[in-house]
Structure 1
Amino acid sequence: MIIEPRTRGFICLTSHPIGCAQNVKNQIEYVTSKGKIDGAKKVLVIGSSTGFGLASRITSAFGSDAATIGVFFDKPASPNRPASPGFYNTAAFEQEAHKAGLYAKSINGDAFSNEIKEQVVNLIKEDLGQIDLIIYSLASPVRTHPNTGERFKSVLKPIGEVFTNKTVDFHTGEVSEISINPAEGDDIENTVTVMGGEDWKMWMDALKEANVLADGVQTVAYSYIGPEVTKPVYRNGTIGAAKDDLEAKAFIIANDLKALNGNAYVSVNKALVTQASSAIPVIPLYISLLYKTMKEEGVHEGCIEQIQRLYSQRLFGGDLSLDSKGRIRIDDLEMREDIQTKVVQLWESATTENLASIGDLEGYSTDFYNLFGFKVPGVDYDQEVDEMVSVPSIQE
């Protein structure tokens, strides 16, 4: 079939297997071009199919020759219906890893569930024995609690008062004002339950109890802080409450890993175009202005550049550079004072009429479509493709 992008709001309803595969290959080429990293050799990535999770799996495998197990929750293709992009990404990653002689197996299912945790533990025992790095990179709007069966939904809301500010429709370039009502009822608690640190700790508890954690094991979860302009709706909002919980759990997990000479960290990453960030009002406008500024300064990074630097300079480079709250700050370039000052100036003047010149909305839009395998250089989108792609290690 010929696959074209079909969008609805901040979601693309289709994805392209060849474009997704080319994206994966491009990331692999970047990592291999930077040389080897003396990193972990047996790695579990929870949330491994897109964004920072995919970049982590690629960097582990092709930067450190690591054996990797990936956990993801994506829809496979059916006749005339493409798979979700994460499924195509994982298929391409496994194919490239196997070609390079690297161990790579994947489990497709709900990472919040006890069943998937048990499957992963069994796979580690059978194939790898123990693991020395766990990356936790889940981004889900809903969670069914594995112990109670109760289903929780996260919400993106400020806390305390209505938030009003600019946003942009990145499809049309229209800058407008948006107001978001504050959290009410159980909104905060539900969002923390979905996006906080409880599941990360449950994973680490299950792995430790099963004795599949190696001596010196490390685990890293990803977070975001961001600038003043997004704080009311992000860091000081319901999602920020969840991130606070995630960061608090890092200290508990680190204490639990002391007997194994291990540690747990939260890495605060840069604002980037991901499926999750596209859903957050205000963020697309901020990112388009940030991209423009960072590209002009020559310090722009995508997911793969961020994670390769996290691994090579911080996690395995001997200089964690933890902040006052014990976090790794790989958002250091984004939060540079000169960068943020410029972005604030641009924000104040941003309108529908001038955004194309003062921001990088085209870069934002391209990155968005790239997530789904579209607008990738070198891919012929007029050619028919086979949508029925499989992940080699998964028996459907």
Structure 2
Amino acid sequence: MTRVTVAEEITGNVARSVNPLGIQRMVQQQIQAVTEAGRFTGPQRALILGGSSSYGLASRITAAFGAGAATLSVGYSRPPQDDYLGTASWWNQVYFKQAAETAGLQADNINANAFLPSTKRAVIEAIQRNFGGSIDLLVYSIAAPKRQNPVDPDNVWRSVIKPIGQPVSDFSVNLEHQRLESISLEPATPAEISATTHVMGGEDWELWVHSLQAAGVLAPNFKTILYSYEGPRATAAIYHDGTLGRAKRAAEVSARRLQKQLAPSGGEALISVNRSVTTKASAVIPGFSRYCLALYQVEQALGLREQTGAHIDRLFRDMLYGTRREYDQDGRLRPDAKELAPEVQAEVERLLPQLTPENFSPELLGYQEFRREFRQLNGFAVPGVGDTVDLDQLADLRF
């Protein structure tokens, strides 16, 4: 038996270590919450692109343990090697697979770059081999820093998080040193805007649906959904009006094209504008973390806090497969309506000016919630979980 003690390490807002046992407990808790909510009529064979963490993982758990679906996940994670324990997203998929198979559910993982044509071919082969030849749901939940041009592999697009048109200054949380820091960003160049749209827009989503349809692996009444974000006025300069927002507008154009393509067979292409949550990606978006501190503080006071798993469970049950869809004027699903409710945002806007480097305190409840959730993404700060792991036991787990 080889036992090691894992130590938490955070550099800036980037986690450098993982506790697999904490990851296992967090996956189990999400599964338990969905199971306790009961079964609903939903997907039976689901493909989750980006199913290794955050909204993608929550979607997989909801589809499997809420609707009894067989699930295929594509994630891009670093596996354990030598003294390196791997990434949290790797262990999320390992422990999901273990739990799903114990429950008698088909669960396949593909560890590959979702943007590559070779990955699309591997997924189609897996659907034909293990999923009865077709899927009835595709969730597109990918946040990536770069994408290879499928036509010109030597050309790599790199996304940036920048404003458009004018510089922006804001404050962001530094989790390593537990403080607020000033940050200033210059506006994106036209080339950076274009590259970000190629990476974070709907172009690859369309390629996936085209490839799957051409291979004949889409079931009648097939649904596909892409996760997006709108946000409040407080984050508009860096998000909605910036490069990320521009990419999301492109995804909406993709959704309309896909809807025309799928409608004749009873299919749907939808965009869901989801709420603000703590993720590895959101922790490094300038200004976004400070907004989360204010939002979480207000939501806790009002009893409205909704975390990632509960948010997606509600989206699936009420909207995607339910009868209580909430659309906006652009035809997008809006499960984020609770966050953007006027009474919530009024309190957030009242609190935000008080969150400055001079006034910040690690004792702030909103900050404690944000930091705890960030730590739990990597298996730390999980109640009842120690810091000693058995490497031999971990080695026996299957991806």
- Give the TM interval when normalised to the shorter protein: over 0.9
Find the counterpart in structure 1 of residue 71 from structure 2: 68
> Which amino acid in the other structure matches residue 305 of structure 1?
A
Count of residues in correspondence between the two structures = 393
Matched, 1:32 2:35: yes
Alpha-carbon shift at residue 10 of structure 1 (Å): 1.5
The CA distance in 1 between the partners of 2:384 and 2:364, in whole Å, is 28
Find the counterpart in structure 2 of residue 131 from structure 1: 135
Find the counterpart in structure 1 of residue 157 from structure 2: 152
Find the counterpart in structure 2 of residue 142 from structure 1: 146
Find the counterpart in structure 2 of residue 271 from structure 1: 276
The CA distance in 2 between the partners of 1:344 and 1:388, in whole Å, is 49
Q: Is the 8 A contact 2:179 2:362 kept in 1?
A: no
Q: Is the 8 A contact 2:180 2:360 kept in 1?
A: no
CA 1:392–1:221 in structure 2 vs 1: closer, same or farther (change >3 Å)?
farther
Q: What is the CA deviation profile of residues 8-43 of structure 1, one whole-angstrom value per residue up to 9, with x for unaligned ones?
A: 222111111111111100100110111111101110
Equivalent in 271, 282, 287 of residue 287 of structure 2: 282
Alignment of 1:303-342 (within 5 A): 303-342=308-347
TM-score by structure 1 length? 0.96
Find the counterpart in structure 1 of residue 56 from structure 2: 53
SS in structure 2 at match of 1:175: strand
Find the counterpart in structure 1 of residue 229 from structure 2: 224
Alpha-carbon shift at residue 164 of structure 1 (Å): 1.4
The CA distance in 1 between the partners of 2:328 and 2:80, in whole Å, is 43
Alpha-carbon shift at residue 247 of structure 1 (Å): 1.6
Matched, 1:110 2:113: yes
Find the counterpart in structure 2 of residue 250 from structure 1: 255
Q: What is the CA deviation profile of residues 120-171 of structure 1, one whole-angstrom value per residue up to 9, with x for unaligned ones?
A: 0011111221111100000101111222111111001000011112333233
The CA distance in 1 between the partners of 2:118 and 2:148, in whole Å, is 12
Alignment of 1:9-28 (within 5 A): 9-28=12-31
Q: Is the 8 A contact 1:346 1:358 kept in 2?
A: no
SS in structure 2 at match of 1:345: helix
SS in structure 1 at match of 2:336: coil
> Unpaired runs of 5+ in structure 2?
none
Q: Is the 8 A contact 2:171 2:356 kept in 1?
A: no
Q: Is the 8 A contact 1:105 1:393 kept in 2?
A: no
> Which amino acid in the other structure matches residue 57 of structure 1?
R
Q: What is the CA deviation profile of residues 237-273 of structure 1, one whole-angstrom value per residue up to 9, with x for unaligned ones?
A: 0111111111211111111101211011010001011
Q: Is the 8 A contact 2:296 2:305 kept in 1?
A: yes
Alpha-carbon shift at residue 98 of structure 1 (Å): 0.4
Find the counterpart in structure 2 of residue 372 from structure 1: 378
TM-score by structure 2 length? 0.95
Equivalent in 350, 357, 360 of residue 345 of structure 1: 350
Alpha-carbon shift at residue 356 of structure 1 (Å): 4.5
Alpha-carbon shift at residue 80 of structure 1 (Å): 1.1
SS in structure 1 at match of 2:123: helix
The CA distance in 2 between the partners of 1:276 and 1:252, in whole Å, is 28
> Unpaired runs of 5+ in structure 1?
none
> Which amino acid in the other structure matches residue 94 of structure 1?
K
RMSD of aligned residue pairs (Cα, Å): 1.5
Q: Is the 8 A contact 1:161 1:181 kept in 2?
A: yes
> Which amino acid in the other structure matches residue 13 of structure 1?
R
Alpha-carbon shift at residue 390 of structure 1 (Å): 6.1
Overall identity of the aligned pairs, in %: 34
The CA distance in 2 between the partners of 1:90 and 1:384, in whole Å, is 18
Alpha-carbon shift at residue 359 of structure 1 (Å): 4.8
